[in-house]
Chain A
Amino acid sequence: DGGITQSPKYLFRKEGQNVTLSCEQNLNHDAMYWYRQDPGQGLRLIYYSQIVNDFQKGDIAEGYSVSREKKESFPLTVTSAQKNPTAFYLCASSMGHSGNTIYFGEGSWLTVV
């Protein structure tokens, strides 16, 4: 089935450690996105990529990094510089052109312990 796969679903990290969240899509979408969701709040854009080997910062990029080496993959690294990383992270993808529907994965819960 086509879709967006995020892994792991749940992740615990010790303070000071980097962690990488995986996002893979088989929809042949050009654009991919990472959003962060805090309890009771809307989603905020972290990074997005419109084509392979290119990505741009979103509204809250500090403390995060991404790569886009393959069209189907857009991993997110939460670095130790991120002050408050505990959140629900959602990956998304679309055909890239303005107004095309953006589809979401099932999300990854990250908890810092």
Chain B
Amino acid sequence: AQSVTQPDIHITVSEGASLELRCNYSYGATPYLFWYVQSPGQGLQLLLKYFSGDTLVQGIKGFEAEFKRSQSSFNLRKPSVHWSDAAEYFCAVVPKAAGNKLTFGGGTRVLVKP
């Protein structure tokens, strides 16, 4: 079945440490890939997206993501987290040639320790 999986429900990281959030997808063809961030009680903000080309994608707020076709993964990274990065992060996909409907993973909540 087609799906998007974020294996980690919660991640706690110290301020200044690196962060990596995992995302795996299961689709016949590589879909369009997105990462969104949501602060509590707020809407979603796009961090970055991958359509094709360079497999390392740069986004806003110092985030980057790497697409690995062989692993069906699109992991999000940040070299040094700030307290303001505490939020929930969602990986999402849009299957190509299937309209423009996002399918979301379950989300990963990031807590930042001082």
Once the chains bind, are A41 and B106 in contact (CB under 8 Å)?
yes
Minimum CB distance partner of A94 in chain B:
B100
Minimum CB distance partner of A106 in chain B:
B43
Chain B proximity of A51: nearest CB distance (Å)? 12
Residues of chain A within 8 A (CB-CB) of B49 are 101
Residues of chain B within 8 A (CB-CB) of A41 are 106-107
- Among B36, B99, B101, B107, max chain A CB count under 10 A is at B101
Residues of chain A within 8 A (CB-CB) of B101 are 33, 45, 48, 58
Chain A proximity of B92: nearest CB distance (Å)? 8
Tell whether B42 is near chain A: CB-to-CB under 8 Å: yes
Chain A proximity of B50: nearest CB distance (Å)? 10
Minimum CB distance partner of B32 in chain A:
A99
- In the bound complex, how far is the Cα of B92 from the Cα of A45, in angstroms? 12
Tell whether B96 is near chain A: CB-to-CB under 8 Å: yes
Categorize the interface residue count of chain A: 20 to 34
Tell whether B63 is near chain A: CB-to-CB under 8 Å: no
- In the bound complex, how far is the Cα of B92 from the Cα of A4, in angstroms? 20
Mask of A27-61 contacts with B, CB within 8 angstroms, 1/0:
00001010100001111110010100000001000
Chain A proximity of B110: nearest CB distance (Å)? 14
Once the chains bind, are B99 and A98 in contact (CB under 8 Å)?
yes
Once the chains bind, are B100 and A99 in contact (CB under 8 Å)?
yes
Residues of chain A within 8 A (CB-CB) of B97 are 98
Chain B proximity of A24: nearest CB distance (Å)? 14
A residues contacting B by CB (< 8 A) are 4, 31, 33, 35, 40-45, 48, 50, 58, 88, 90, 92, 94, 96-107, 109
A to B CB contacts below 8 Å, 14 in the list: A40-B9, A40-B107, A41-B107, A42-B90, A42-B104, A48-B99, A50-B100, A58-B101, A97-B100, A101-B34, A102-B46, A106-B42, A106-B43, A107-B43
| 19 other A-B residue contacts (CB within 8 Å) besides A58-B101, A100-B100, A102-B34 | A33-B102, A40-B107, A42-B104, A43-B90, A45-B103, A50-B99, A90-B43, A92-B44, A99-B32, A99-B94, A101-B46, A102-B100, A103-B46, A104-B36, A105-B43, A106-B43, A107-B41, A107-B42, A107-B43
